Amino acid sequence: MKKYILLFVVTCFYVVACNPKSENKTTASATATSSVVLPYTASYSTDFNNNVSDSELLTVLNSYKAWENGDMKALRATMNDSAYINSADGFQFKGLTDSLMNVWTKVRDSLSSVKITMDVWLKNHSVKDSSNYINVWYKEIDTYKNGKVDSANYEDDNGLKDGKIIWFSQHKQKL
């Protein structure tokens, strides 16, 4: 029995001694990246992590599902009272979300169906100012009431505050 206890203690000591502390990993990583000279300096920040709640991710994904289903009331529920929007088609908006919803309702009413296939999303928390962003990549197929079909790949940036979308920037690649 003493042999087993001694073997367990020695194994534990070996595991602890051979695994560097996470601080050392961070320091080594920072040292390695600091030796690289980049041609640009980020004007905002490059210090991001993924500490964004799943409930905020759910808010963003629900906004896309609401658009797909044509449920403008549910879409409105995902938005803050005011928003800044920069769409891929050149549409820009800064103001009260209720006014934005009037515009988006007309656009959605021109479509007979929308099909969204979500490819990937990424949660980003800015350490600099504690802002949260959800980036999504997806394919959207829009069928207009006149029969025209439009499909594209999108990458959208969704900024959140207090669990609601306050900022949206969209990038489009036509198929």
Please name each of the domains of the chain with its CATH number. 48-174 (3.10.450.50)
Task: Judge contact between 106 and 65, C-beta under 8 A.
Answer: no
Task: Judge contact between 104 and 75, C-beta under 8 A.
Answer: yes
Question: Per residue in 45-85, pLDDT tens?
Answer: 889 999 999 999 999 999 999 999 999 999 999 999 999 99
pTM over 0.75: yes
